[in-house]
Amino acid sequence: MSLCFKTTASFALVIKVFPGAHSIQNAINKAHNGDTLLVQKGLYKEHNIIVQKRLVIIGNGYPVIDAESRYQVFTISYDSVIIKGLQIQNVGTASVTDMAGIRIANSKNVIVESNRLINNTFGVYLQNSAYCRVINNIIHCNIKDQLNGGNGVHAWKSNHLLIEGNSVSGHRDGLYFEFVTESGIMKNTSSGNVRYGLHFMFSHNNTYTNNTFKDNGAGVAVMYSKGVIMRDNNFVHNWGDASYGLLLKEISNSKIEHNRFIGNTTGLYMETTTNVDVKRNLFQDNGWASRVEASCTGSKFSGNNFIGNSFDVATNGTLMLNNFNGNFWDKYDGYDLDKDQTGDVPYYPVSVYSVLTEKIPVAMILYHSLLTDIMDQVEKVMPTIIPDKLKDDHPRMKKIKL
């Protein structure tokens, strides 16, 4: 590898790096703060590259940096570093270290943009960092089980991150955040991951918008957090015995708005949630549109469309401390004599059969049988099983424009 140096007017250098006898690390060692490394197209079998200077590292023609399935590649521990246009592949595994294609540690204002991270245990790993941006990267792996894999984008104890426009697939969790605050996650596609498309815990005041989570093993899980805003996302075709479009566990003071839950085993599952607004979402063609456990309090469902779901609402108790009001239910067969587009009689979205299957799951084999139809009709005449407080007093007669 030969190095070509060019001086700019501001006295920063542009250093061209070519495949050959030397290394990218060698170029970094010779560079100074503010310099730019132009890594030329080719194959670089390098690993454990340490960046402790303010550098711009740009690939020309997506040069391939191959860790040979034994090592990790970049570790960035300096502010304002930019890595763009590289293909980083074949990071190995280790029992002690979470090995990553790009690790950002104790740094600020780092940008990772338009890279390809292929078959790495962890793609981009951020720890104790702030104001970093991970933008428009392709992050893909082919792990077979979650024990031997890592996450596409993994963030721990960080704040003010921007994760935008990435395509993440085939990892354990596509996007994983723990102790991450005041961050924006938008316009990402996370699909085909072994466990969760998105998984975050103990991460407060974050906003997730315009993302698509599709065909993930267990869907999306949001746990032990407050101040969460999830808006304009797609939760699509997350199927399996323990799969959810979106699972909320111990979430408070949050908003779930303008999302689309389509074709999931369970669209939205809520456990021990408090003061969550579920507003103007589409629940369509799910097994269970929503499962709201009796441990949930103070949440409001309003202006949502429930269309083509096997069960619109399920719960595991008779006490309901949440509110349903002004939703559209395609199963509603009430009337509207005053023509104000609101039903004149309440709608009870919990069917007797959904209550039965919560207690006896194997009863699902009788779903759509004559027996279940008879049970539902009897319950309408003499309600005894379904929670009488779980009702929509103002069901909409027509589908709501979201």
Asked if pLDDT for residue 284 goes beyond 50, the answer is: yes
Minimum mean pLDDT among 21-30, 176-185, 226-235, 283-292: which range? Answer: 21-30
Q: Quick one: average pLDDT of 21-29?
A: 88
DSSP letters along 206-246, please?
A: -EEES-EEES-SSEEEEEEEES-EEES-EEE---STT-EEE
Query: CA nearest 148: which of 109, 189, 194, 117?
Result: 194
Q: pLDDT category, 400, cuts 50, 70, 90?
A: very high
Minimum mean pLDDT among 56-60, 75-79, 385-389: which range? Answer: 385-389
Distances in Å between the Cα of 183 and the Cα atoms of 76, 92, 158, 229 are 20, 29, 9, 11
CA–CA separation, 208 and 199 (whole Å): 12
Q: Quick one: average pLDDT of 291-318?
A: 92
Asked if pLDDT for residue 368 goes beyond 60, the answer is: no
Name the CATH superfamily for 3-381: Single-stranded right-handed beta-helix, Pectin lyase-like (2.160.20.10)
Q: Is 321 left (phi over 0), alpha (psi -120 to 50) or beta?
A: alpha
Asked if pLDDT for residue 9 goes beyond 50, the answer is: no
Q: Percent of the chain at pLDDT above 70?
A: 87
| pTM: predicted TM-score of the whole model, two decimal places | 0.89
Q: Quick one: average pLDDT of 180-207?
A: 97
Asked if pLDDT for residue 216 goes beyond 50, the answer is: yes
Minimum mean pLDDT among 18-27, 48-57, 150-159, 361-370: which range? Answer: 361-370
Asked if pLDDT for residue 327 goes beyond 50, the answer is: yes
| Summary mean pLDDT of the chain | 89
Residue 325: beta bridge partners? Answer: 302
CA–CA separation, 357 and 366 (whole Å): 10
- Pairwise pLDDT comparison (240 vs 199), residue with the higher score: 199
Q: pLDDT category, 96, cuts 50, 70, 90?
A: confident
Asked if pLDDT for residue 7 goes beyond 90, the answer is: no
Q: pLDDT category, 242, cuts 50, 70, 90?
A: confident
Q: What is the tens place of the pLDDT at every residue in 122-172?
A: 999 999 999 999 999 999 998 877 677 899 999 999 999 999 999 999 999
What are the structural domain ranges in the chain? 3-381
Beta strands in 265-383 (DSSP E): 266-271, 274-279, 282-284, 288-292, 297-302, 305-307, 311-314, 321-325, 328-329
